[in-house]
């Protein structure tokens, strides 16, 4: 109903899906790495400070990558209507990839996040020269 009014809907994480929250810059690089790898990308949110990726429940239970966290079960996530895709926003939130099946595979996300970190490290090393 809130989406029909163009508003954010708050839904709890860890019930139907888990959410991995990462910094914006590395998050965008992670989405690029997923696309480059040809991985199926499910819903991905963009906020002022983060990129949040929805993954199947339990698929990131062993997440151990620095700079990203799995949102606690029950923590609410403010979701914009599905038609609000970047660069459009509602209350500084938009979708990079709008809701719809499938959810992003947790293993593919883990690998893409690691690749994004390596890419950023390479950029930093080359800018030091």
Give the mean pLDDT of 8-21: 95
**Share of residues in the chain with pLDDT > 70 (%):** 95
Q: By the 8 A CB rule, do 79 and 9 touch?
A: yes
pTM: 0.91
**Which DSSP string corresponds to 71-103?**
PPTT-EEEE--TT-BTT--BTTBEEEE-S-SPP
Least confident segment among 8-12, 55-59, 89-93, 123-127:
123-127
Residue 127 in this model has a pLDDT that exceeds 70: no
Contacts by residues 109-112 (CB-CB < 8 Å, ≥ 24 positions apart): 109/20, 109/30, 109/34, 109/53, 109/55, 109/60, 110/60, 110/63, 110/65, 111/33, 111/37, 112/30, 112/31, 112/33, 112/34, 112/37, 112/39
Round to whole Å and give the CA distance between 95 and 85: 4
Other residues' Cβ atoms within 10 Å of the Cβ of residue 59 = 20
pLDDT tens digits, one per residue of 26-54:
999 999 999 999 999 999 999 999 999 99
Residue 103 Cα to chain centre, angstroms: 11
What is the pLDDT, as a whole number, of residue 5? 85
Residue 128 in this model has a pLDDT that exceeds 50: no
DSSP state, residue 8: -
- How would residue 125 be classed by pLDDT, with cut points 50, 70 and 90? low
Bigger pLDDT: 4 vs 90: 90
């Amino acid at each position: 109903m809130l989406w029909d009014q163009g508003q954010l809907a708050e839904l709890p994480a860890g019930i139907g899906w888990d959410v991995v929250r990462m910094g914006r810059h590395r998050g965008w690089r992670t989405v690029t790495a997923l696309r480059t790898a040809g991985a199926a990308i499910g819903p991905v949110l963009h906020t002022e400070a983060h990129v949040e990726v929805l993954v199947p429940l339990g698929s990131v239970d062993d997440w151990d990558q620095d700079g990203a966290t799995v949102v606690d079960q029950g923590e609410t996530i403010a979701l914009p209507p599905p038609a609000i895709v970047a660069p459009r926003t509602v209350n500084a939130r938009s979708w990079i990839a709008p809701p719809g099946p499938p959810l992003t595979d947790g293993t593919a996300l883990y690998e893409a996040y690691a690749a994004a970190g390596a890419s950023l490290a390479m950029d930093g090393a080359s800018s030091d020269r």
